């Protein structure tokens, strides 16, 4: 890209929010450009997030099965060895193929791709600083900001992702070239637990240090409690809950962490080969020239938008991790489609109650709609149906009967309000529940829908039965 030009839509950021918005805008006939500074499309998700983490979750699970479970099925594989280099290159080739695939989609849909850094000059002019440092101005009638987020660093724990890799963010935890003997995971959210699982399966002793008294605070407590037990039992995770890290000595060969009870008390030291700091992500909203054009931020430095993703400036929009709401790739994508449609004069809505979230461990935990705690807090009367996978024939047949389905429905109308699943396929199963919520279905609707036998999904039907009547198999 070197020519400048005039566009109907400019998108700053080529992650799942930005690239989807750009493709949709072009499909709707708008002349569109997407500006991405990384040198590759796909954003955090494809390059250092969802995709590389799922590649490693898959290969580490295969290794764990081969070393720990195969013998239970009468499969003897002898001496299993680990080749991290090959494991990492499988991950890299998956990422590479997918990022190139988006470039292909841009060509197919005639989205112009500018490799460089975008910032506002005024409300309709964007300066693109190319990867070679050359600056070009473009004009855009509308701009969509989709600049995403980045990991939060603790002030006393600077990341060394690209040097010693003893104090890493999620990015560094995806790049380790040997299995740490001891891994401290600071922050027990989804990212920390997924990446902790990867390295635990490959042999690391993992200790999670969490400030709160609950892991993944936005997820349903009953499920998360069961999940925590599973991590302890299956992967020997240790947990230091209600504990805050106050200092760290980061060296080339490891880290000494100082921590104390969150409410105050006696400090203790913890030695780790590697510390993964996964205490959250912050929106990337600096150095975009936002103040120059009048785009405002909230108190968490997220761009303020209305229900149709419009900022305070009429022709500037924002979506994805840099605005309010859960930091999830599919949420950013939904917003990308919506905003492109809004710009071209169409209407749509996003039902935030039907956005699933998934922890891709083994078993997986997936959730859509309200948690039991949210219903209690909102004083909504609900009925609850729980069905354990221990009573599901497919789960028993494949010796993988950990977990449960939990359905919460309105007590009077039976309308489904929330579904929470822990199972080996929860991340796939949750979409039946998402569709039910989107269509305003009742538990009886699911219970009277024939589910194939033997499947894990029969547990959803039985939990629905348990919610409005009685299950058959438990
Ligand atoms: P990003 O993906 O962050 O993309 C923003 C892009 O904008 C970046 O590529 C950045 O380089 C570019 N950019 C920023 N500023 C500028 C600028 N001024 N000019 C040009 N370009 C700029 N979510 C899920 O839904 N499922 C998962 O399984 C999952 N796993 C994850 C695992 C990890 C380890 C991590 C870190 C995240 C994971 N996420 C997952 C979260 C997911 O990656 C994000 O929610 C998603 O990427 C947000 O998309 P986005 O388009 O808003 O921003």
Q: Is 459 in the pocket of ligand 1 (CB under 6 A)?
A: no
Mutate to test the pocket of ligand 1, among 56, 148, 280, 321 (most ligand atoms within 8 A of CB): 148
Q: Which H or E run contains 116? A: strand 112-122
The pLDDT of residue 259 is: 98
Q: Taking 80 as the threshold, does the pLDDT of residue 314 lie above it?
A: yes
CB 347 within 8 A of CB 335: no
User: pLDDT (tens digit, 9 = 90+) per residue, 356-384?
Assistant: 999 999 999 999 999 999 999 999 999 99
Q: Considering the chain, what is the average pLDDT of its residues?
A: 96
- Calculate mean pLDDT across residues 212-241: 97
Q: Could you give the CA distance from residue 31 to residue 53 in angstroms, rounded to a whole number?
A: 34
The pLDDT of residue 175 is: 98
CB 472 within 8 A of CB 451: no
User: pLDDT (tens digit, 9 = 90+) per residue, 107-143?
Assistant: 999 999 999 999 999 999 999 999 999 999 999 999 9
Q: List residues bridging with 244 in a β-sheet.
A: 260
Q: Write the DSSP string, 419-467.
A: EEEEETTHHHHHHHHHHHHHTT-BHHHHHTS---SS-TTHHHHHHHHHH
CB count within 10 Å of CB 447 equals 23
Active site residue 453: yes
Q: Could you give the CA distance from residue 403 to residue 422 in angstroms, rounded to a whole number?
A: 5
What is the percentage of the chain residues whose pLDDT exceeds 70? Answer: 99
The pLDDT of residue 163 is: 97
CB 274 within 8 A of CB 168: yes
Query: pLDDT confidence of 170, banded at 50, 70, 90?
Result: very high
Distance between start and end Cα atoms, the chain: 62
Distances (CA, A) of 430 to 65, 400, 406, 455: 24, 18, 11, 14
Q: From the candidates 362, 420, 451, 453, give the one annotated as an active-site residue.
A: 453
Q: How far is the CA of 148 from the centre of ligand 1 (A)?
A: 5
CB 454 within 8 A of CB 400: no
Residues with Cβ < 8 Å from 246, sequence gap 6 or more?
156, 258, 259, 260, 267
Q: Taking 70 as the threshold, does the pLDDT of residue 3 lie above it?
A: no
The pLDDT of residue 174 is: 98
Q: How far is the CA of 20 from the centre of ligand 1 (A)?
A: 12
Task: Point out the ligand 1 atom lying closest to the alpha carbon of residue 38.
Answer: 11
The pLDDT of residue 1 is: 59
User: pLDDT (tens digit, 9 = 90+) per residue, 8-62?
Assistant: 999 999 999 999 999 999 999 999 999 999 999 999 999 999 999 999 999 999 9
Place of tokens 């060394």: 160
Among residues 299, 340, 298, the alpha carbon closest in space to that of 317 is found at 340
Q: pTM of the predicted model, to two decimals? A: 0.97
Query: pLDDT confidence of 4, banded at 50, 70, 90?
Result: low
Give the angle subtended at the CA of 190 by the CAs of 360 and 172, to the nearest 5°.
Answer: 95
Q: How far is the CA of 321 from the centre of ligand 1 (A)?
A: 7
In terms of DSSP H, where are the helices of 110-241? 170-173, 190-201, 221-235
How many residues are given for the chain?
Answer: 474
Q: Is 149 in the pocket of ligand 1 (CB under 6 A)?
A: yes
Mutate to test the pocket of ligand 1, among 44, 339, 428 (most ligand atoms within 8 A of CB): 44
* Residues contributing to the annotated binding site for FAD: 54, 118, 147-149, 321, 327-330
Q: Is 388 in the pocket of ligand 1 (CB under 6 A)?
A: no
- Calculate mean pLDDT across residues 164-184: 98
Q: Show contacts of 119-125: CB within 8 Å, 24+ apart.
A: 119/287, 119/288, 119/289, 120/288, 120/289, 120/290, 120/292, 120/293, 120/295, 121/289, 121/292, 122/292, 122/293, 123/293, 123/294, 123/313, 123/315, 123/316, 124/315
Q: How far is the CA of 188 from the centre of ligand 1 (A)?
A: 20
DSSP class of 351: -
Give the angle subtended at the CA of 47 by the CAs of 198 and 209, to the nearest 5°.
Answer: 40
- Calculate mean pLDDT across residues 229-246: 98
User: pLDDT (tens digit, 9 = 90+) per residue, 190-223?
Assistant: 999 999 999 999 999 999 999 999 999 999 999 9
Q: Is 44 in the pocket of ligand 1 (CB under 6 A)?
A: yes
Indicate if ipTM > 0.85. Answer: yes
- Calculate mean pLDDT across residues 222-231: 97
Give the angle subtended at the CA of 186 by the CAs of 61 and 92, to the nearest 5°.
Answer: 40
């Amino acid at each position: 890209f070197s020519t400048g030009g005039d566009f109907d839509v400019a998108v700053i950021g080529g992650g799942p929010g930005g690239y989807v918005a750009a493709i949709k805008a072009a499909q709707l006939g708008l002349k569109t450009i997407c500006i991405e500074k990384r040198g590759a499309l796909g954003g955090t998700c494809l390059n250092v997030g969802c995709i590389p983490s799922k590649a490693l979750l898959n290969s580490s699970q295969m290794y764990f099965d081969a070393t720990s479970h195969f013998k239970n099925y009468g499969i003897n594989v002898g001496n299993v060895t680990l080749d991290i280099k090959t494991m990492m290159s499988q991950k890299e080739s998956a990422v590479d193929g997918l990022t190139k695939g988006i470039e292909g989609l841009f060509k197919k849909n005639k989205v112009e791709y500018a490799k460089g850094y975008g910032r506002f000059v005024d409300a309709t002019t964007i300066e693109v600083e190319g990867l070679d440092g050359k600056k070009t101005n473009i004009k855009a009638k509308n701009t969509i900001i989709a600049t995403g987020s980045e990991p939060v660093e603790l002030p006393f724990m600077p990341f060394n992702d690209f040097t010693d890799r003893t104090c890493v963010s999620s990015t560094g935890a995806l790049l380790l070239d040997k299995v740490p003997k001891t891994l401290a995971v600071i922050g027990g959210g989804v990212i920390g637990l997924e990446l902790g699982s990867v390295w635990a399966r490959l042999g690391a002793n993992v200790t999670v240090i969490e400030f709160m008294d609950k892991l993944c605070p936005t997820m349903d407590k009953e499920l998360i409690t069961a999940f925590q037990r599973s991590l302890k039992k299956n992967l020997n995770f240790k947990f230091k809950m209600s504990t805050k890290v106050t200092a760290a000595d980061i060296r080339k060969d490891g880290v000494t962490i100082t921590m104390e009870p969150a409410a105050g008390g006696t400090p203790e030291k913890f030695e780790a080969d590697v510390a993964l700091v996964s205490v959250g992500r912050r929106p990337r909203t600096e150095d975009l020239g936002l103040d120059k054009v009048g785009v405002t931020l909230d108190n968490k430095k997220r761009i303020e938008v209305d229900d149709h993703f419009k900022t305070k400036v009429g022709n500037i929009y924002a979506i994805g991790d840099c605005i309010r709401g859960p930091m999830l790739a599919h949420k950013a994508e939904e917003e990308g489609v919506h905003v492109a449609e809004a710009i071209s004069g169409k209407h749509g809505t996003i039902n935030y109650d039907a956005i699933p979230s998934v922890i891709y461990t083994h078993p997986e935990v997936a959730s859509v709609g309200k948690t039991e705690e949210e219903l209690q807090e909102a004083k909504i009367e609900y009925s609850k149906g729980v069905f354990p996978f221990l009573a599901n024939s497919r789960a028993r047949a494949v010796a993988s009967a950990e977990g449960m389905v939990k359905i919460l429905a309105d007590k009077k109308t039976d309308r489904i309000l929330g579904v929470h699943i822990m199972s080996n396929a929860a991340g796939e199963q949750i979409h039946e529940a998402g569709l039910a919520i989107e269509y305003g279905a009742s538990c009886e609707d699911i219970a009277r829908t024939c589910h194939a036998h033997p499947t894990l999904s029969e547990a959803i039907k039985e939990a629905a039965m348990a919610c409005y009547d009685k299950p058959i198999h438990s």
